[in-house]
Chains A and B, each alone.
Chain A
Amino acid sequence: EAQVTQNPRYLITVTGKKLTVTCSQNMNHEYMSWYRQDPGLGLRQIYYSMNVEVTDKGDVPEGYKVSRKEKRNFPLILESPSPNQTSLYFCASSSGLRATNEKLFFGSGTQLSVL
C-alpha cells in the first residue's frame, strides 16, 4: 500500500531535549516536505527536499533541521525544542520535481508537546 509513515504519532518532551520525528515513504517520490499545523494558521512549510541531498527552507525553518540521505526517508530534527514548537506536524511527499502540479501524499501526523 502506498503510504507516508510518520513516527511517533504523539510525543511529549521537555524544553531543550533533542528529538527526531521520522518520515518514510514507499512510493519512490523525489519531493518530500514537512509542515506544521497550528489553529488559525493552516499548514506552514518548514523544510522541503526535491531529491536526495537537496533540501531547502520553507516559511518557518527556525529551530528545525532536516536531512535527506536516502530517497525514502526525511527526518525532522529539533535540536533544542521550545514550547513554541508545540504543534501538529505533517510529512508529505510527491512524485516528480514539478511537485506543484502533483498530488501531495500526507502522513497521519505527529502531535508534539514541548513542556
Chain B
Amino acid sequence: GDSVTQMEGPVTLSEEAFLTINCTYTATGYPSLFWYVQYPGEGLQLLLKATKADDKGSNKGFEATYRKETTSFHLEKGSVQVSDSAVYFCALGLYSSASKIIFGSGTRLSIRP
C-alpha cells in the first residue's frame, strides 16, 4: 500500500551544522510530496512541497527535491539554527477516487547552541 518512511529520531545537531532528514515513499500513481513542521505545542504547518518529479521545494533555507527514480524527498538545510528545533513530517498526497494524505512518523530535531 501507499506509505511514507522517514528516518527515526531524535536527531541532535550543533548550530550551523548541515541537516539531512531522509524520506522515501511508496505510492501508486503520481503523488504530491510535502514536508510539514510542528513546533512545540502547535499544530503542523507546511514547510515546503513539490508536485511533480524533479521539482524542488524550498522555504526558510530548507530544500527538498522530488526524486521519482529513488522515490525520495529528503529534507536538507545548510546551516541549522536553534529555532529549527521541531518535529518534521514527510507526507504524500494522492488523488484518485478520494483525497488521501499520508504522513510519515515524524523526526524530532534538536539543535544545540
Interface residues of A (CB under 8 A from B): 4, 31, 33, 35, 40-45, 48, 50, 56, 90, 92, 97-101, 103-104, 106-109
Contacts and interface: CB of A to CB of B under 8 A. Distances in A.
A15 B57 CA distance: 45
Contacts of B95: 98-101
A99 B93 contact: yes
Interface of B: 31-32, 36, 41-46, 49, 51, 89, 93-95, 98-106
B101 A100 contact: yes
A43 B98 contact: no
Nearest to B4: A42
Contacts of A98: 95, 99
A109 B105 CA distance: 17
Contacts of B49: 103
A104 B35 CA distance: 11
Nearest to B103: A43
Contacts of A92: 43-44
Contacts of A45: 100-102
Contacts of B101: 33, 45, 99-100, 104
B35 to A, nearest CB: 12
A107 B42 CA distance: 8
B99 A48 contact: yes
A73 B90 CA distance: 27
B105 A106 contact: no
Nearest to A40: B105
Contact of B99 (A4, A50, A108): A50
A108 B93 contact: no
B46 A103 contact: yes
Contacts of B104: 42
A104 B98 CA distance: 16
A42 B103 contact: yes
Given A41-B105, A45-B101, A101 B44 contact: no
27 contacts: A4-B43, A31-B99, A40-B105, A41-B105, A42-B103, A42-B104, A42-B105, A42-B106, A43-B103, A44-B103, A45-B100, A56-B98, A90-B43, A90-B44, A97-B99, A99-B95, A100-B95, A100-B100, A100-B101, A101-B51, A103-B46, A104-B44, A104-B101, A106-B44, A107-B43, A108-B41, A109-B42
